[in-house]
Amino acid sequence: MTDLSHLKLYERLELAKDQLEPVQSDYRVVFEADLDNPASVLVPDPNWMACALHGGILPSVEVYHQLETDENERITNGYLLHETTPVGPMTEEEAIEYLVQKDMPVHVWQQGSANAKRMVICRKKQLPASREWRDAWKINQDIQFKEIA
Amino acid sequence: MSNLNVQNVNGQDADAGKARVYCNCTASAVVNNSLNISSVTDHGNGYGNTFSFTNAMTDAEYISTHWGKMSGGSYGAPWENDSWKSAGSYRINYSNHNPTTITIGEAQRLNIIVMGDVA
């Protein structure tokens, strides 16, 4: 695709959906936003992932944090999504980090020092194969992390 | 109301028994598939899923229509061929904390009607 930065975000997304092959990521993000509830599992959308890997379509993730709403919860500066220069191609790992900051509660990924592990990026096959005890899922605090990229 | 936006969240046909979302938008500025989903988060059985969108919505009101019991896996679940809870009540919450997110509780197969503008 050619330079799409002059288009609005939803126009860029529409073109991308027509022209890019969806990419189903094998990554999953397990997180605990509320210790009283079971662990949540975030799954990237294949079309979104294709946009992230291609580049030139999505705004920087900071733009989403800059969105403001009025007293009626209407977004007052949605133009930022459309007018901000799109970011370049991401690796799959960078795209997951983007999603973490965009779609997950801030208090999960922006925590300072804490004893409890509240977020784990893993592969699909590392999740339980059965949902039988789904509501009892918690992050194993003995888990050992390693770099994935 | 116009049926401008049809979003198949997992790219598979509904007949395959997969979760699927239709978004019908009233705003004339909305173009096809403008409410693209960036991710789906599974919060557990009975806790619902959260759909996050790449676009932001303004003045949005959400009404859902339940389709019935899932016969297969859900997009929100990375586990195929598991049975999901049967049809039941549902709720949709607009998250004040994230203008690009809605949470769908309980029912896993929904018709989402989004009434409002897209930013």
pLDDT in tens, B28-61: 222 333 456 777 777 776 666 676 777 765 433 3
Which amino acid, residue A29? V
> A130 CB near a chain B CB, below 8 Å?
yes
Hunting for tokens 């919450």 — which residue is that? B93
What is the ipTM for the molecules in this complex? 0.87
B72-118: per-residue pLDDT in tens?
233 333 322 233 332 223 333 444 444 555 554 433 334 443 433 44
Distance from CA of A14 to the nearest CA of B (A): 6
Task: Please tell me which residue, B52 or B17, carries the higher pLDDT value.
Answer: B52
Residue A92 is predicted with a pLDDT of 97
> B31 CB near a chain A CB, below 8 Å?
yes
- Residue A126 reports pLDDT greater than 60: yes
Q: Do strands B49-53 and B37-42 pair parallel, antiparallel, or not at all (unpaired)?
A: antiparallel
Task: Please tell me which residue, A46 or B66, carries the higher pLDDT value.
Answer: A46
Distance from CA of B66 to the nearest CA of A (A): 22
Nearest to A26 by CA among A117, A109, A118, A127: A127
Nearest to B114 by CA among B67, B68, B56, B42: B56
Closest in A37, A45, A129 to B47, CB measured: A37
Output the CA–CA distances (angstroms, integers) from residue B53 to A30, A71, A116, A129, B21, in the order listed.
19, 22, 29, 27, 12
Is the whole model's pTM more than 0.95, yes or no?
no
